[in-house]
Amino acid sequence: MADVAKLAGVSSQTVSRVANGQSGVVEATREQVLAAMRELGYRPNSAARSLRYGRFNTLGVILFGLSSTGNSRTVEAIATQAAAEGYAITLIPVGVPTQDNVLGAFTRMGELAVDGVIVILEVHLLDVATVALPPGVHVVVVDSDAGERYPVVDTDQADGTRQAVRHLLDLGHPTVWHIAGPAESYSAQRRAQAWRRVLEEAGRPVPEIGRGDWSAESGYQAGLALPAECSAVFVANDQMALGVLRALTERGRRVPEEVSVVGFDDIADASSYLPPLTTVHQDFAEVGRRCVQALLAQIGTGSAAPGTDLVPTHLVVRGSTGPYQRG
């Protein structure tokens, strides 16, 4: 730092302010210091700055797998927003969501020195009495029903489902079948509950629920099991909907002339399905933005209020849905 100060013709305190991005340095002087840094190959010592200021400018992300579309896109959005705020992320996957594994992940995060943690859950975990996050940790939870204890950010699963089912009923279909995600998934449960509620409020029959594991193959198997009288099906994600479309094609059932299909997620390929998939759009970029902003607010104030922040969803109508036609 002394060498940079000498070359730039400024004090060491000025170099320190420039290196730490602080205000109070005129632009010409800042450029002079940065030029000296580049010429000498000087890099600020982030570890030393962390010890001095008590900040690491790193956010931890704990999640239970990257295989699902929601998780991978949410992590991407978190990383993008964190970078825009001047933070890096440290990612720790947890293979099996148990109390010991969650606490182990938080211990590891502590060793890696992070300012706060975002926990991405797609299973019922924080609603189990024996599972809790360590006290005193800045944390935001994604995709959970733990809003009474922690700050939670999620998309509006229930309203997205309501829009999907109402769309199919408004097209004249007598009822709507449902292929749900895994029973242990919070998102799958919310969508299944909302599907059932809309049908009951409309006075329509509630068919037996089908189930998959979010994969296209599981959707294919569930699609093969749909009864002949099914004229409309709401599928809990777009990957399973792809499998359902294949199953219906193999069975000789035309979409949407004989069966209407709606998915959930609005993945990038949904508009390229055959036919293009009607689906519920989730704004994962907004989820990531709100997670990072909520966590940085905690870090800044030292406190957090529990509650759930819902990001709106909306239906995107494409070619896989059509009016009911009596057989």
pTM recorded for the entire structure: 0.80
Task: Tell me: cis bond preceding 44? Omega within 30 of 0 counts.
Answer: no
Domain ranges of the chain: 1-44, 55-153+284-309, 157-282
Best CA proximity match to 278, nearest among 312, 247, 244, 234: 234
Is domain 157-282 annotated with CATH 3.40.50.2300? yes
Instruction: Please name the residues in contact with 118: beta carbons below 8 A apart, sequence gap of 6 or more.
Output: 59, 60, 61, 62, 78, 139, 140, 141, 142, 291, 292, 295
Span 297-305, mean pLDDT? Answer: 85
pLDDT recorded at residue 134: 62
pLDDT recorded at residue 156: 95
For residue 162, count other CB atoms closer than 10 A to its CB: 20
Angstrom CA distances, 28 to 25, 34, 53, 84, 290, stand at 8, 10, 26, 25, 36
How far is residue 31's CA from residue 8's CA, in Å, rounded to a whole number?
Answer: 10
pLDDT interval class at 45 (50, 70, 90): low
Whether 8 has a pLDDT exceeding 50, the answer reads yes
Best CA proximity match to 97, nearest among 69, 75, 126, 70: 126
Q: Is there a common fold for 55-153+284-309 and 157-282?
A: yes
CA 111 to mean position of chain CA atoms: 25
Per-chain mean pLDDT for the chain: 87
Contact 261, 321 (CB under 8 A): yes
pLDDT interval class at 326 (50, 70, 90): confident
Q: What angle do CA 152, 157, 160 make, to 5 degrees?
A: 140
CATH of domain 1-44: 1.10.260.40
CATH architecture of 55-153+284-309: 3-Layer(aba) Sandwich (3.40)
Contact 206, 175 (CB under 8 A): yes
pLDDT interval class at 162 (50, 70, 90): very high
Tens-place pLDDT, residues 307-320: 899 999 999 999 99
pLDDT recorded at residue 68: 72
Count the alpha carbons within 13 Å of 275 in the hemisphere toward its beta carbon.
18
Q: Between 301 and 205, whose confidence is greater?
A: 205
Tens-place pLDDT, residues 272-286: 999 999 999 999 999
Tens-place pLDDT, residues 167-185: 999 999 999 999 999 988 8
For the chain, first and last CA: distance in Å? 81
Amino acid residing at 258? E
pLDDT recorded at residue 13: 87
